[in-house]
Amino acid sequence: MENLDDMADDPVSPPGKSKSSIKRIRIGLNVLMQIAFAVAIVSVVNWLSCQKYAQWDRSASKRYSLGPQTTQVLENLSEDLYLTMAFGRGSDIYPYTQRIIDLYEQEAHGRLKVRWVDPLRDPAAIAELRNQDPKLIFEQNKILISKSEKLNGTNADGKEVSSYEMVTEKEMFQRGETVAFRSGSPRPGKILQYRLESALTSALVAATEEKNEVAYIVASKGFPQGVKNPSTGKIIDAGMIIRDKAAMRQNLLVKPLSITPNTTIPEDASVVILLAPTVDFTGAELKQLFRDYWEERKGGIILMIDPLQHRALPNLLGYLDENYGVRFENDRILAMRARGGRTIKVSEVECVYMPGSPITEPLFGRATTLPGQSSSININISGGADSTIAPKAADKKPLIIAYNDFWKEKDYRNLNPVADPRETMDVNVAVSVERGAGINQDLRLNSSRMVLIGNGSFMDLTPTQESEEFMFNSINWTTDREELVVGIGAHAAGDFRVEVGERPFKKLELMSLRYVPGLAFLIGLIVAFFRRR
């Protein structure tokens, strides 16, 4: 006979259901709840990963990340900008460009409205763009930046005007020579440098600026000798190079300027550029250029001095020496090199860019060779202009120095000069001068800024990439456009390999073939043990 107490403790099964069926239902509900919780957790984790995440750019040139200058520009956008990406989907630069544009969109927090258009696959969209500006051609990939969905806006008179910035593939990427197949179809050359960030950030700043900055190039005091372009036959000088490239990349309007004792520097001048003058300045001209414009109006000046013209410029060079403590030395920067079985003097200066200035920070660690002749610039002159507490005190910094056994040679006319160890120190080729910034380096607002270069051929027919960047950085620094002093240099292209030695390879082999499978096997045993219990 069954124990009555045991019968009382035994739960009564609902009608039509056995104990085993209730147990299966409970197990099923438990599994469903676990699946629901797992799906919810995975969904939340995925959502959080899309909203909050971090990326690490491990490439040597950091070409898959944005620089701090670009980030600052994007965060400070006060209005929406519309980007029309006219890129062929089959282009070799399409994936990289798409990835960088995604980074721009993330940092802009909705301020950039991006539309992708394929010139070959979207003829209707291309026709719409051509209707807005008939001058547009799509022979290469490009980016169009405007303040509205349409490229054209209206001016105060109600007339339609073109109001967009354009960045072409040639500005974004530097390629090698085009390869031609036997069939005759050309293939684009390999990418040598990535300039997308530099070009696009400059265009974004240009699109948001209220007015164009104006640079005046002094034309009445002589120019460097023009050089004939072999492909077009036209005479090209440094002023034309700066005008064309600055207008395209820096939203800079370049105009000629004639300085005479009876004229003044125009009110809209942001910077005055003197390219290797060959005629000296009078006292009245120096006063209006340096005292009235540079000191009083806080203007910007860029001055290139050709060493061959030192004797023709006593007033100009003496004014810089006496008032600002900057002396263009009567020397040549030379080196002795063994060529063709004999030793000859070389004046093409190999230079490096110095740190400590916004102009050269993006170029620090890179080298370039200056054509023609160069003279040194002495900024360590004792006197009132060099005193830190004097009324005319100026902050002077070296920007470019000669290296690789170059020295300052005063007896440069000698065919076989001898290197003097005393002349090897402080071989400055370019310096910056700033007045009015004060001691606090963070309060550099509304100061007078000037860049001096001891080489008259700095911007010749084919300037190097480093020379171009230096010149445009100098222009932007002297015009107080700090956001365009691109610390966004070109990113070098290249394939990078990870070399694994024998010992690291053995460790990797043990980890992949023994440790990881062994750990998985051990976890499986533990799970099986608890399930059996």
pLDDT one-digit tens code per residue, 279-312: 999 999 999 999 999 999 999 999 999 999 999 9
68-194 adopts what CATH topology?
Glutaredoxin (3.40.30)
Percent of the chain's residues with pLDDT above 90: 24
Which residue carries 């004014």 as its tokens? 319
Say which residue, 414 or 54, is predicted with more confidence: 414
> Which tokens go with 340?
């063709």
From CA 297, how far away is CA 317, in angstroms rounded?
22
Model confidence at 441, pLDDT cuts 50, 70, 90, reads very low
Sign of CA dihedral 447, 448, 454, 460: positive
> Which tokens go with 291?
């005292």
* Whether the Cβ atoms of residue 328 and residue 319 lie closer than 8 Å to each other: no
Say which residue, 258 or 484, is predicted with more confidence: 258
The least confident of 83-87, 389-393, 525-529 is: 389-393
- Rounded CA Rg of the chain: 33
For 205, 311, 482, the CA distances from 476, given in Å and listed in that order, are 12, 31, 7
Q: What is the DSSP string of 465-506?
A: HHHHHHHHHHHHHHTT-GGGS----PEEP--------HHHHH
pTM, rounded to two decimals: 0.65
What integer is the mean pLDDT of 461-466?
74
Q: Which CATH number does 212-487 carry?
A: 3.40.50.880
Sign of CA dihedral 269, 270, 276, 280: positive
Domains in the chain: boundaries = 68-194, 212-487, 505-533
pLDDT one-digit tens code per residue, 50-65: 766 666 666 666 677 8
- The gap from C-alpha 285 to its chain's centroid, in whole angstroms, comes to 36
From CA 272, how far away is CA 218, in angstroms rounded?
7
From CA 516, how far away is CA 494, in angstroms rounded?
34
Q: What is the pLDDT of residue 443?
A: 47
Judged by DSSP in three states, 202 sits in helix
Q: What is the pLDDT of residue 432?
A: 94
For 22, 31, 34, 207, the CA distances from 27, given in Å and listed in that order, are 9, 6, 10, 64
Q: What is the pLDDT of residue 225?
A: 46
* Whether the Cβ atoms of residue 333 and residue 375 lie closer than 8 Å to each other: yes
Judged by DSSP in three states, 6 sits in helix
Q: What is the pLDDT of residue 66?
A: 83
pLDDT one-digit tens code per residue, 178-237: 766 555 566 778 888 788 887 888 788 878 876 667 888 887 676 544 444 444 444 445
Say which residue, 20 or 323, is predicted with more confidence: 323
Say which residue, 439 or 395, is predicted with more confidence: 395
